[in-house]
Structure 1
């Protein structure tokens, strides 16, 4: 799906998954390779499935369910919600279920290989863009959209514009990639990447944990997705084209980066 026009990573992934040549601003319906659901929204998700007249998810092998947001249950009401979730997982026969204490959803999704590079993954948490750590188009959605994805195995998106963030140099001792992404947020602003796809260049060889930090923090800029370019997991085609058009470009020099502090109400 080249179309002879240079594409950003977001445009490439959504062109490939939708089966047609698309550009920023186009509306697409795309299949999802995985849906992540966590405990805090399961009641609303189940209600959404009922409203759609769907008793079962479209493919249990592509659904990951976690109890990690309110774990252990802080109130009797939440404990009952967890009970309902357990019953739903058993009834749906979802094989990929992580109960309270087994880990944090986004780290497990990436580290256990549930995120396929170059595909669209949706999750019921705003930091589902963390899946861009391995080159996936990860997007957080509300309960209704997650219910639709669970029922149909697809979702709709507006192809986002992209922002290019390039890193140069090497971090000094005591400075981390959390400092780097906080500097990026400072440069772009807490709503400066609203509904954009943020591409990170020059850091594809970082450890997964650092890449998760970068991709997941794009939420704090209002981004729809955050994708690290050139990761070891990415296929050969998953690179932005030379000459791709970006909404904005930002360069961060890691050699001179100082420790960053977020002072409320700013990130």
Structure 2
């Protein structure tokens, strides 16, 4: 077998390990999936009537806000699921299992890749649950078949980027407790973008930050595809650029720290 074949085989083995952990620590999985659902219901049923009127005039209401807020909640689901990955990586590093893996004839990168792939599966599960709950309370999408395939690609790209970033956070953390807190700002960025209110409604300085942070183009691309109106080319370019840069940064930091601690 080639080096690439060994790496793929070992990555699948590590993926199976992480999936078993997801079942063993079901409470963590339920928490990272449940938090976006709670925020969806909170914003739609508590704030949705007033905020929806602001979006769509007097006839806007809760339905208009539900249509607007779903992409932002989906990005919260991505960030929240990836946050759990940081904790899992830190626990592996703290408990010494990584040192045992290093003594075995396995691909070194597969240890990290297993975490990334498992996190991406969990993110897709969380997104599916959020969309299901949104549909149950009245959300309707105008997306066609091509839009859904585009959404899948967008979610995979963003999930890949955010997961590598949180893997890096988990490896560099001093303890599992630190690792669980380090990625928390990711949960706030959808609020500080276009996820819950239009950026035009924000003060100037806040609007500038909202328009030049990664979650805003990710949200706008998701919103355009879900609406069936298509995403703007500038948003797609920004979304891909941000995801590529974050993925590369997270991978390089994670790989360098992993190798350093194994030296």
Pairwise same-fold verdict (TM > 0.5): no
